[in-house]
Structure 1
Amino acid sequence: MSDLPSILIIVAFLLAVISLVQPVARVLRVSQTVILAVVGIAIAAISSFLLHSSFTDLFNKPAELILDFPITSQVFIFLFLPILLFQASLTLDVRRLADDAAPILVMAVVAVVVTTAVVGLALEPFAGVPLAACLMLGAIVATTDPAAVVAIFRDLGAPPRLTRLVEGESLLNDATAIAIFAVLLGYITAEQPPAVGAVLLGFVRTFAGGVLLGALIARAFVALLPLVRDLRAAEVTLTLALPYLIFIICERYLHVSGVVAVVAGGLVLGAMGRSRISPENWRFLDEVWEQLGFWASSLIFILAAMLVPRMVRGIDLADIGLVLVVVAACLVARAAVLFGLLPFLSLLRLGQRVSTPYKTVILWGGLRGAVTLALALSITENRAVSHDIQRFIAIVATGYVLFTLLVNGTTLRPVIKLLRLDQLSPVDLALRNRVLAISLVSVRDEVASRAQAYHLSDETLAATVRPYEDRIALVAEAQAASEGISERDRLSIGLVALAGRERDVLLEHFHRKTASPKVLEAMLQQADRIVEAARQGRSDYNKAARGWLEFDRPLRVAVALHRLTRLESMLAQRLADRFETLLVSRIVLEDLRRFATAKLLPVLGPRMTAILREMLDNRIEATSKALDAQHLQYPGYAAALERRFLRQYALRLEEREYRTLLEDGLIGSELFHNLRVELQEEQDTVLRRPRLDLRLEPQTLLAQFPMFATLSEEELGKLAGLLRPRFARPGERLISQGAKADSMFFIASGAVEILLEKRRIRLGRSDFFGEMGLIARKPRSADVVALTHCHLLELGGSAFHKTLENNAAMQAKIAAIAEAREQMNANPEPEPEPEPTPDPDLARPVEPDPSPTSNIIALPPPPRRVAD
């Protein structure tokens, strides 16, 4: 029996069962995979009983349909596995995973290798099969159920980074284990077993080849996305084809790991697709894939469970003993990684510290599931494998899966409760009480206001608000008992709340397309870092928050290329990204300042709110200075970006008005659609970012220097043609003592420091340096180092002398400044004593963070001593 209607009716029946399992699992507070396993086993056992029972023949036909259902390893591996792996990898943030690449890769690869080795070596004396078969069983049971493990940590409210570590490790764990399984299976079925070196080389080839080819195929698909832009049905269909094409091409034709390739492809699409698919369509795509993943994981689990009675047929006490050996070996191997390797990674600062209770939950919560059963089933169907190995793999792997589901899965919540991981910390409890008190009072007052507006009786109002009054009193008592929370903890609560709100506001901008998707995506990743840093305290928060102002690696590369090759396109693109980043940052920070006053003040009190407001004010000031520097250099482009932002806002308001008219019945759907199409065309036009021309308005930039105030527009234009823009990062050495003096520099923005023998002098915007060596035609007399990100204008030596020859006023001014600086060199002033450093967490006032454009010391005339 394998006709299509019979298959469809069984699938429909199983889907109905799966839908009923969810509420049962929620009521029993047990993992859904445990319930699915029990239900699948029960369906198979009951069907077998009904078919072979002489009690009645009424259920023979449906029982026969279920028992004869064509469940093979090919169905699991080629139909369900690509969906499962692709959906899991698609939801991961590959750029955030890159921050923890070392611990994830080490945990995934090392954990699988250790489990494979420990299980294989532990079984070999007792199993009566070759060591290679025992190692292959070790690889089969090394796979974990990512969905179950991640669900556990989300239920516990684990920190996002820890959840991400476990999720990434579980996904790559499966890919690594399946790759090792494939290599060992090839070793066992080969007529002439290859050497160990060849086996290891084969593993590296299949794994690395899978990563490379999966990423390349996914990248090619990403290039096709613009062809179906804003057609969400086509976009989803394209992504549905991708995992199957990757898996089958790599597995069947290119002979590399299809599993690894699908994971790599999902990560690439997740990283690149978000900036090429509209936010609304990406949400739709994500929801579709979540549903597909749910169907695939549930069906593969319940179908695999239906095979359990068949696979454990003939089990005896010796087999049970082997299962217990595997249980002990897996626990030992997993414990060695968790309690031995993880602390070492934390010591090297390659991974986040994981507490002992969390490690215990990871150890006990390593549930095995459908992937393990599917791999075991593939062995039983492989005729090249001996019957003894088939029986050994089928019984022991199935027995171990049942143990993890029925023992670990059912006792996991009691373990969590025993370790008190389900309880709120004192800080969280205090925050809960305070927020609850404010919310209940707000609800009570709003109900009273409505009752008065609707002229309801006092008796009705009293009966309605009485339960709220009682709850407010209880919360007040609990709040009084928890008032011992320290100010540092209150500050931590406020920082986490601010960081979370910052990410939410950025998500709103992402959905509204306020700026380029690529820019907003990068800002969201930085916001995630700020959220995690906020949990560590004020200094970590400030350090992460300065990420908006930093010159990232692509921009530094673009600067270096521009300096070497004069190539402008890449630098213009990166500077335009920075423009947008700073503009959106300032808008977001202004929203945060209002949020702190409106929402955090009632929760944290005036002192903590004042500290948070001051930190936000410092961030706003630093961001504004950086943005002002960009305005000075490229005022036309800055104005174009601001117009673009306001136009986008106006178009969103226009769309909202049309939608309101439609909902109120004032316009029909046909007219609304017509207006919406016109609006969409305008939005698409506005969404295109204007191009930044690095040569825009040089006269405007030079006009900020007092020494050029007497020059005409024509003279400014000639001088601008002689200047070369240069960008410097903090700590970069701009001038070295003893070097040949071949240019001078004008500071358009930022700050530099002159390193003299007995003192240091700082210069800021509108200052210049390096001219003395050109005038005296001598080597440089001191080092000059950039203190912040600087925008400089460099004037070459020959151009310098030519300019002075043609402009007597400028020549006289520079000569006077140089003479004054020489006198200062002869009579240096002592450095002032440094001021004491305030408490890094609670002291106030807060010093503003250094920014790319801050004048660290704004030294007005008279001229100062400046070395060149």
Structure 2
Amino acid sequence: MDEGTMLLLVGAVLAASIAVGVGASRAGVPVLVAFLLLGMLLGSDGPGGIEFDDAELARHVGVVCLVAILYEGGLSTSWRRLRNVAIPAALLSTVGVFVTALLTGAGAHEFFDLDWPQSVLLGSVVASTDAAAVFATLRHTQVRRRLARTLECETGLNDPIAIALTIGLIHWIDDPTFRVDDVLFLMVKQLGIGLLVGIVLGVVATRVFAQLPRSTGSFAPVASVAAAALSFGVADVLGGSGFLAVYLVGLAVGSTPSRYRGQLVHFHEDLAFLAQVTMFVVLGLLVFPSDLPDVMVAGFVLALLLCFVIRPAAVLLSTAFSDFTNRERAFLGWAGLRGAVPIVLGTFVLSEHVAKGETIFNAVFFVVLVSALLQGPTLDRVAGALGLLEPPSPTVHTPLVVDESTPLDLIEFDVSSEYAIAGVHVRELGLPRSALIALIARGAKTIPPRGSTLVEAGDRLYVLAPPATRAALDDVFERWRRRV
């Protein structure tokens, strides 16, 4: 294929993607499902007729996409936001993954023609929630902050664990001398090296971004991509989990105040969405619709079992000793979104030529399809039905720029009569030192605030703060919203 034909093909696929995305949005169809169907239409069984069955290439593409997704997941959050939910999230990421893998494996052994190792391998492939799907969904919901942060932390941590488990099981299936203790040792080794590399390079990355001169600010995204690539590459070369390392480096960079943080977050959000779309198109290309009828019924049953039974059971066991309410556990059980990660792990199975690998990959197709159609679009409604939604977040306006070094966010906060902030003096609001109440709108009046000014129900507060304080401000707003 010459360069002109290749660029023509790429341009045609991109143009089709735009048309499909716009059409899906207007029709109310999840965009990622539309891209999955686009991949199937472009494939050899569809009118596109593209012959694509290179699992090794798909695996390489998937790894790069997953690095982009995990780095963005870490960058978009901060340790300050996650530290209070680290323990339950860690349990969901470990106990939850193993319980999901085993229970899904039991179901797969019953529904498919797979032996036990192959069945548990299928369970491990779909055991983790998907970072891109979770972060993208939570950005458009008003789920209680603690639950949202638990899901954010869980999805960042459980991907490396599920990946390590999948790789260990593939070794076990391929090598008869490989034992269960070898699988566990491989997992511990990968996670340990990944943790060490992530911490070390995370410290280095934060210092680099803190000292990046203002004159080279346009290179900040390049430096950020370099940090993600290096963290994965170093850990992988040393035999560790590059996925854990890249998430931790992203978390370190996102937790450190920097004049470039807002710029990097927006850049990597777009990059992660592109990566997720790429993976759904690749899944569509790799799936041959003519092979699906043989596993359709079993695939849908297994996917529904994972949504309604297995994930809730894993959440229940993982949070048995936490203080989550039953309604919160029910929501966490429903929020086990699957997406790009099972697709990537499915390409691992295909590229390693595991026996019955096509069956495992086709089952992944149904799990991802059901999750994208059923769980993602209903997450907000389920939270509302369970009474787990918060009031709308404060409105953030376009940053005000006093000079090049001091951009400020202007944030609106509406005071309800039920909030703890109503009846409190301005000097008692507990804002970070770098933030201030610029103005209070009370009906048709505007009030210049003083320390003795009393905040009343119905007021609208205008808060000025540097972008780097948003994590601290989120905690303050959460305290303000507490019911009296």
Same fold (TM over 0.5): yes
Show the counterpart of 1:660.
none
Instruction: Report the Cα offset of residue 116 of structure 1.
Output: 0.7
Distance 1:43 1:247, change over 3 A: same
8 Å contact 1:111–1:333 — kept in the other structure?
A: no
- So what's the TM-score if we normalise by structure 2? 0.77
Show the counterpart of 1:183.
168
Instruction: Report the Cα offset of residue 417 of structure 1.
Output: 5.4
Show the counterpart of 2:339.
369
CA distance in 1, matches of 2:384, 2:144: 16
1:123 aligns with 2:108: yes
8 Å contact 1:93–1:270 — kept in the other structure?
A: yes
Q: 2:186 aligns with which of 180, 202, 205?
A: 202
1:242 aligns with 2:202: no
CA distance in 2, matches of 1:613, 1:408: 39
- 1:85 aligned partner, one-letter code: L
- 1:374 aligned partner, one-letter code: V
1:28 aligns with 2:27: yes
Show the counterpart of 2:154.
169
Q: 1:537 aligns with which of 399, 403, 420?
A: 420
Q: 2:330 aligns with which of 352, 359, 376?
A: 359
Instruction: Report the Cα offset of residue 79 of structure 1.
Output: 2.7
Show the counterpart of 1:381.
351
- 1:398 aligned partner, one-letter code: F
Distance 1:28 1:145, change over 3 A: farther
- 1:333 aligned partner, one-letter code: I
Distance 1:11 1:370, change over 3 A: farther
Show the counterpart of 2:462.
none
CA distance in 2, matches of 1:308, 1:169: 29
8 Å contact 1:246–1:258 — kept in the other structure?
A: yes
8 Å contact 1:150–1:163 — kept in the other structure?
A: no
Instruction: Report the Cα offset of residue 16 of structure 1.
Output: 2.0
1:404 aligns with 2:371: yes
- Aligned 1:220-239 pairs, distance under 5 A: 220-225=204-209, 226-239=211-224
1:286 aligns with 2:265: yes
Instruction: Report the Cα offset of residue 216 of structure 1.
Output: 1.3
- 2:351 aligned partner, one-letter code: E
- 2:32 aligned partner, one-letter code: T
CA distance in 1, matches of 2:418, 2:142: 14
CA offsets per residue over residues 562-586 of structure 1, 9 Å max, x none?
xxxxxxxxxxxxxxxxxxx65x46x
- Aligned 1:41-52 pairs, distance under 5 A: 41-44=40-43, 48=45, 50=47
Distance 1:400 1:285, change over 3 A: closer
CA distance in 1, matches of 2:301, 2:315: 21
Show the counterpart of 1:324.
301
- Aligned 1:477-516 pairs, distance under 5 A: 500=394
Distance 1:547 1:201, change over 3 A: farther
CA offsets per residue over residues 338-373 of structure 1, 9 Å max, x none?
4565474226xxxxx5746x935x544544223212
Distance 1:223 1:365, change over 3 A: closer
Q: 1:612 aligns with which of 451, 455, 463?
A: 455
Distance 1:612 1:218, change over 3 A: same
Instruction: State the SS of the aligned residue for 1:144.
Output: coil
Runs of at least 5 residues in structure 2 that lack an aligned partner in the other structure: 447-451, 460-481
8 Å contact 2:112–2:298 — kept in the other structure?
A: no
8 Å contact 2:78–2:251 — kept in the other structure?
A: yes
Distance 1:283 1:300, change over 3 A: same
Show the counterpart of 2:464.
none
CA distance in 1, matches of 2:238, 2:176: 22
CA distance in 1, matches of 2:91, 2:118: 25
8 Å contact 2:279–2:340 — kept in the other structure?
A: yes
Instruction: Report the Cα offset of residue 4 of structure 1.
Output: 4.8
Show the counterpart of 1:313.
291
8 Å contact 2:129–2:336 — kept in the other structure?
A: yes
- So what's the TM-score if we normalise by structure 1? 0.46
8 Å contact 2:327–2:386 — kept in the other structure?
A: no
Instruction: Report the Cα offset of residue 207 of structure 1.
Output: 1.2
Distance 1:545 1:304, change over 3 A: farther
Q: 2:359 aligns with which of 374, 392, 396?
A: 392
- Aligned 1:129-140 pairs, distance under 5 A: 129-140=114-125
CA distance in 2, matches of 1:254, 1:510: 46
- 1:43 aligned partner, one-letter code: L
Distance 1:329 1:99, change over 3 A: closer
8 Å contact 2:58–2:282 — kept in the other structure?
A: no
8 Å contact 1:115–1:142 — kept in the other structure?
A: yes
CA offsets per residue over residues 675-728 of structure 1, 9 Å max, x none?
xxxxxxxxxxxxxxxxxxxxxxxxxxxxxxxxxxxxxxxxxxxxxxxxxxxxxx
Instruction: Report the Cα offset of residue 266 of structure 1.
Output: 0.8
CA distance in 1, matches of 2:303, 2:23: 31
8 Å contact 1:90–1:269 — kept in the other structure?
A: yes
Instruction: Report the Cα offset of residue 263 of structure 1.
Output: 0.7
Distance 1:149 1:192, change over 3 A: same
Distance 1:538 1:85, change over 3 A: same
Instruction: Report the Cα offset of residue 407 of structure 1.
Output: 5.0
CA offsets per residue over residues 19-60 of structure 1, 9 Å max, x none?
23333233223321122112222232xx5455xxxxxxxxxx
Instruction: Report the Cα offset of residue 115 of structure 1.
Output: 0.5
CA distance in 2, matches of 1:334, 1:189: 29
8 Å contact 1:97–1:168 — kept in the other structure?
A: yes
8 Å contact 1:18–1:298 — kept in the other structure?
A: no
Distance 1:190 1:355, change over 3 A: same
8 Å contact 1:146–1:167 — kept in the other structure?
A: yes
Distance 1:337 1:143, change over 3 A: closer
Show the counterpart of 1:13.
12
Distance 1:328 1:69, change over 3 A: closer
Tell me the percent identity.
24
Show the counterpart of 1:146.
131
Distance 1:80 1:341, change over 3 A: closer
Instruction: Report the Cα offset of residue 257 of structure 1.
Output: 0.8
CA offsets per residue over residues 95-150 of structure 1, 9 Å max, x none?
21122212222222222121011112333355443322221111111233333334
CA distance in 2, matches of 1:535, 1:104: 30
8 Å contact 2:299–2:367 — kept in the other structure?
A: no
CA distance in 2, matches of 1:406, 1:162: 22
CA distance in 2, matches of 1:260, 1:147: 15
Instruction: Report the Cα offset of residue 156 of structure 1.
Output: 3.6
Distance 1:407 1:329, change over 3 A: closer
1:113 aligns with 2:98: yes
- 2:133 aligned partner, one-letter code: A
- 2:267 aligned partner, one-letter code: V
CA distance in 1, matches of 2:318, 2:128: 19
- CA RMSD for the aligned pairs? 4.4
8 Å contact 1:342–1:354 — kept in the other structure?
A: no
8 Å contact 1:335–1:363 — kept in the other structure?
A: yes
* Farther-moved stretch of structure 1 (22-31 vs 337-346): 337-346
CA distance in 2, matches of 1:510, 1:165: 36
Instruction: State the SS of the aligned residue for 1:345.
Output: coil
Show the counterpart of 1:256.
240
Distance 1:74 1:270, change over 3 A: same
CA distance in 1, matches of 2:279, 2:370: 18
Distance 1:245 1:610, change over 3 A: closer
Instruction: State the SS of the aligned residue for 2:13.
Output: helix
1:75 aligns with 2:45: no
- 1:39 aligned partner, one-letter code: L
Distance 1:329 1:74, change over 3 A: closer
Distance 1:256 1:513, change over 3 A: same
Larger radius of gyration, structure 1 or 2? 1
- 1:599 aligned partner, one-letter code: R
CA distance in 2, matches of 1:8, 1:69: 21
8 Å contact 2:419–2:483 — kept in the other structure?
A: no
1:345 aligns with 2:322: yes
Show the counterpart of 1:433.
none
